Amino acid sequence: MQQLSSVLGIDIGGTNIRLAHIDRNLKVIRSSRIKVEEAEGGLVSYLSEAIGEFTASAEPEIGAIGIGIPGIVSEAGEILSCPNLDPAITGINLRETLMAKFGVPVYVQKDVNVILYGEYRALSTGPSCSVLGFYVGTGLGFASVIRGRLVTGARGFAGELGHIPVKGKDDPCACGNNGCLELYAAGRRITELTAQAQTNVADFFVNPTHAADVQEWLDNLTIGMVTAITLLDPTVVIVGGGVADMQGFPFEELEKKVRARLRHPLVAENLTIKRSTAGQLGGCLGAAMYCFDTARGEIE
């Protein structure tokens, strides 16, 4: 068991890479952001350089590095699938590469896992709490902390809720399968619908032209949420992501639809459904909390 003074939390998104030096009180000492396309020389070499720049001058010393990436990572730290980033990164063991270079523990997780871990810790509800996170962006991200443990599965593929099959649908998905839920319940569908109608993506939820589309889209998202809640019996459900932050996002209506399909009364009436409060540094903070808790021996 070890108490770290400070860690480096890194959030690699499809668009931005954020690094934040964070102390044990979760105060951000220093942070930086760069666009993914500006990461010269490939992602791994950019990361090495950026981390080196932080560790060289860090006070207090950085005792661990936590990283969230928009892809699937094995328990050992190998990137197994990451279609939204440089394809060259697949197959690289990011954990071992960075540990060898910097000599501190490195933890690499799917981005939504670290975001949800941070939100779960911020709830301060204790280790018996189960929390699910639905992060609606271009795709449908999902993560779960069950009785205090982040669920990653045998190979890192747990929680790929966006890729459950939808009956009667066969559009091709980036995952290699067809008819996956996220094609009909996330941002990509909104882009398609607004392109067809020649309307503005940002107005999707408030434009009367799309009233019927919004209902269908919500019904699709409801299927995913109710499925996960029914399987995992959480105490708290969090809804976040870029689409959930759009103007007029019908959060109350979504909540009503979800509660209507849950088991009554014990699940439907005893579940907290709330909006994400992760914010722009949520991924970095969640990755940092994961590092601190692991060093303290709270995560096996």
Minimum Å distance from CB 142 to Zn ion?
13
Minimum Å distance from CB 176 to Zn ion?
7
Residue 163 interacting with Zn ion (CB under 5 A): yes
Q: Where are the beta strands (DSSP E) in 147-225?
A: 149-150
| 3 state DSSP class of 121 | helix
Peptide bond into 105 cis (omega under 30): no
In this complex, which beta carbon is closest to Zn ion, that of residue 11 or of residue 160? Answer: 160
In this complex, which beta carbon is closest to Zn ion, that of residue 21 or of residue 163? Answer: 163
Minimum Å distance from CB 138 to Zn ion?
13
Write each residue from 167 to 196 as x if it is in contact with Zn ion (CB under 5 A), else as -, in one continuous string: ------x-x-x--x----------------
Write each residue from 105 to 144 as x if it is in contact with Zn ion (CB under 5 A), else as -, in one continuous string: ----------------------------------------
Minimum Å distance from CB 177 to Zn ion?
5
131-136 sheet: strands from edge to edge? 149-150, 140-146, 131-136, 236-240, 272-275
- Write out the binding residues for Zn ion, residues 198-227 only, by CB under 5 A: none
Total residues binding Zn ion (CB under 5 A): 5
Contact 115, 122 (CB under 8 A): no
DSSP 21-59: EEETT--EEEEEEEEGGG-TT-HHHHHHHHHHHHHHH-S
The two three-digit tokens of residue 191, written as one number: 């882009």
* CA 10 – CA 20 distance, rounded (Å): 6
In this complex, which beta carbon is closest to Zn ion, that of residue 116 or of residue 180? Answer: 180
Return residues touching Zn ion (CB under 5 A).
163, 173, 175, 177, 180
